[in-house]
Amino acid sequence: MKASLFLMIVLLASGTGFTQKKKGPATVSSSISLDSVAWKCPPGKAEFFEKDGQKFMRLKAGNQGSAVLRNITFKDGTIEFDFEPYSPMSIGSSPAVYFRGDNERKNTELVYIRARPNQPFLNDAIQYTPFLNDVNMWDMYPEYQAPTLFQVDKVNHLKMVVSGDQMRVYVNEMRWPALEIPKLEGNLKEGILGLDGQMIVSNFIYKPGATEDLPSIAAPDQTSHDANYLRNWKITQLTDLPAGNEITVPMLPKPEAFTETIMAERKGMVNLSRKFGGGSVVPRRVVWLKATIKAAEAQKNLINLGFSDDVWVFVNGQMIFLDKNDYRQAPMRKYPDGRISIQNARFNINLKSGDNEMVVAVANDFYGWGLIARLEYMEGISY
């Protein structure tokens, strides 16, 4: 017995006779030189200089475009660097990292630091957002922002780990993430890697394929087990709705106008930007969505509605709700701060016995647009 135990200890120590986890290929850690050979920069965007034998890149604020790494297609891996924001900071000077993007940044993903230095309890100091069809979706994912502590005119450290559909972002404190993204929402899985904003960059390191212990599969959507969300809609084509015009009952579309269907994405959101584009550079447009709710008997229900930007809600041909979620006008910003959320609105909905036709007009004024609808009660309800 003692001999057998001794043999087992020897085998465990040597690894002989037992299956071990195979090590993956070694990750190549690449320190990226901060010069015009490694970085492609629009005119006037960047200045390269040396100090005490160390290279730096000074980025200037503005809409010239990003400083993009040459000859690199980013997919998965670790990005980290030191950054020193200038004071005073402004929204337009936010240090930013673009990744997995096309050259025009019409479809890309973005992490940026807002002008919130030395305020560790503000929830929007750091944010992740995708660009979908040339639309910055910053107002569509309020859950993808977080507080973090950084300082201006001082060196801070940022680290991003990207693995498939997930990402972790660290700012200064490397023991735990400042921001964790359970599902990256971009249209592309690989593309450019670039920097923007007003800052001095140093010690830039890129480790392709280094994803630590971060899974590549998206984390579960906690709303996917919730039957109360309306997820299946019929949809019309886009039509123009000039600024100042409103939707009225006679404008309700004919049944044949609903030519396609659209499914809600994570958190029950119908993502109209992913389908149609949008934003503030195109004329105001409207699209109509329709869902059929079947009630076993007549009842009064409640609906929670998230919307961006303007909505008009009809049930069985009668308008029951209209509102705007307009970030540009502070009194019209719905909680949280003009972003789309199931907390934007809550109102009664009277359902008759049998089929009830719910039709919603959604108009786009500003950046992303979409709809989230959730019934309060499901007793006797199907759709």
Residue range 113-145, pLDDT digits in tens: 998 888 888 899 999 999 999 999 999 999 999
Q: In 60-155, which ranges are E strands?
A: 67-69, 77-85, 96-101, 108-113, 126-132, 135-136, 145-146
Look at residue 4 and tell me whether its pLDDT is greater than 50: no
Q: Record the tokens describing residue 199, joined without a space.
A: 């800052």
Residue range 74-102, pLDDT digits in tens: 999 999 999 999 988 888 789 999 999 99
Q: Which residues pair with 111 in a beta bridge?
A: 97, 128
Contact between 60 and 43 under an 8 Å Cβ cutoff? The reply is no
The C-alpha atoms of residue 164 and residue 166 are separated, in whole angstroms, by 6
What is the arithmetic mean of pLDDT over 62-80?
93
The C-alpha atoms of residue 322 and residue 286 are separated, in whole angstroms, by 14
* pLDDT reported for residue 279: 67
What is the arithmetic mean of pLDDT over 236-247?
93
* pLDDT reported for residue 21: 33
Look at residue 63 and tell me whether its pLDDT is greater than 90: no
Residues with Cβ within 8 Å of 329's Cβ and at least 6 positions away in sequence, in order, are none
With cut-offs at 50, 70 and 90, classify the pLDDT of residue 22: very low
Q: Which three-class secondary structure state does DSSP give residue 280?
A: coil
With cut-offs at 50, 70 and 90, classify the pLDDT of residue 174: very high
Looking up tokens 């020193």, which residue turns up?
84
Look at residue 227 and tell me whether its pLDDT is greater than 80: yes
The C-alpha atoms of residue 314 and residue 317 are separated, in whole angstroms, by 6
Listed range (137-146, 153-162, 274-283) with the worst mean pLDDT:
274-283
Q: What is the mean pLDDT of the chain?
A: 90
**Which value, in Å, is the radius of gyration of the alpha carbons in the chain?**
25
Residue range 289-328, pLDDT digits in tens: 999 999 999 999 999 999 999 999 999 999 999 999 999 8
Look at residue 10 and tell me whether its pLDDT is greater than 70: no
> Which H or E run includes 6?
helix 2-14
The C-alpha atoms of residue 237 and residue 349 are separated, in whole angstroms, by 26
For the chain, the maximum distance between any two Cα atoms, rounded to a whole number of angstroms, is 91
What share of the chain has pLDDT > 70, as a percent?
Answer: 91
- Ordered by where they begin, the domains of the chain are 27-208 (2.60.120.560), 222-382 (2.60.120)
* pLDDT reported for residue 244: 87
Amino acid at 180: E
Whether the upstream peptide bond of residue 336 has omega within 30° of 0, thus cis, is yes
Residue range 140-157, pLDDT digits in tens: 999 999 999 999 999 999
What share of the chain has pLDDT > 90, as a percent?
Answer: 81
Contact between 135 and 285 under an 8 Å Cβ cutoff? The reply is no
> Which H or E run includes 8?
helix 2-14
Residue range 335-366, pLDDT digits in tens: 999 999 999 999 999 999 999 999 999 999 88
